[in-house]
C-alpha cells in the first residue's frame, strides 16, 4: 500500500552508481502488455567496491519512512515498456553472509498480481552462494554515460 508512483528513484543525493533499468512486460505469446504496473524496491546504494566490503558496510531497506526511498511503481506504455532511474543497490547481510545486489519486483496486470521476483546483476560475487539467485534473472549491465550503468529485463507474465 501507498507505494509512490514514480520511476525516478535517484532523488536523495546518495553516493553510488546511477542505474537505468528498463524492459518490457509481455504476455505468454510475447505481446506487449500496456498499463501493467511494475513495482520495484531495493536496499540503499553504496559507494564501497566489493573487494573493500566490510561487515560495517552493509546497507538496509527504507521500509518505515514516508519517503519510501528506492521504492516506486510505474505503468508500462502502449508497447509494454517501463524504465526506472535509480542507484545500484548495496549489499546487506543475511544469515551471516552478504546477499548479492538485487532489486525486488512485482508485476500487476489489472488487479491481479502476476509476478513477484528479484533481479540480480551479472558478475556479483555473492550470487553463487545465494539460495534465491538464479542465472535466468541476472541483468547484464553496460556503461551509460559518466559513471552510470544501464540494463534491461523483460518480464513475461
Determine contact, residues 61/41, Cβ cutoff 8 Å. Answer: yes
E-only strand ranges, the chain: 18-26, 37-41, 71-75, 81-87, 93-94, 97-98, 102-109, 112-121, 138-139, 142-143, 148-152, 155-156
What is the C-alpha separation between 98 and 75, in angstroms, rounded? 32
Quote the pLDDT of residue 63.
81
pLDDT in tens, 4-16: 999 999 999 999 9
User: What grid cell was written down for 94?
Assistant: 543475511
Q: Say what the pTM is.
A: 0.95
Quote the pLDDT of residue 64.
80
Quote the pLDDT of residue 142.
97
- Is residue 1 scored above 80 in pLDDT? no
Cβ contacts of 64 within 8 Å, gap of 6 or more: none
What is the C-alpha separation between 155 and 157, in angstroms, rounded? 6
Strand-pair category, 142-143 with 148-152: antiparallel
What is the C-alpha separation between 2 and 43, in angstroms, rounded? 18
Amino acid at each position: 500500500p501507498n507505494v509512490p508512483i514514480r520511476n525516478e528513484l535517484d532523488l536523495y543525493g546518495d553516493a553510488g552508481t546511477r542505474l537505468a533499468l528498463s524492459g518490457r512486460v509481455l504476455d505468454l505469446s510475447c505481446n506487449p502488455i500496456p498499463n501493467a504496473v511494475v513495482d520495484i524496491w531495493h536496499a540503499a546504494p553504496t559507494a564501497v567496491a566489493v573487494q573493500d566490503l566490510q561487515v560495517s558496510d552493509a546497507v538496509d531497506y527504507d521500509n518505515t519512512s514516508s519517503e519510501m526511498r528506492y521504492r516506486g511503481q510505474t505503468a508500462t506504455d502502449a508497447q509494454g515498456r517501463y524504465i526506472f532511474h535509480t542507484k545500484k543497490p548495496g549489499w546487506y547481510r543475511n544469515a551471516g553472509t552478504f546477499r548479492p545486489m538485487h532489486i525486488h519486483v512485482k508485476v500487476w496486470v489489472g488487479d491481479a498480481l502476476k509476478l513477484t521476483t528479484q533481479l540480480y546483476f551479472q558478475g556479483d560475487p555473492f550470487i553463487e552462494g545465494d539460495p534465491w539467485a538464479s542465472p535466468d534473472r541476472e541483468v547484464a549491465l553496460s556503461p551509460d554515460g559518466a559513471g552510470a550503468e544501464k540494463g534491461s529485463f523483460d518480464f513475461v507474465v
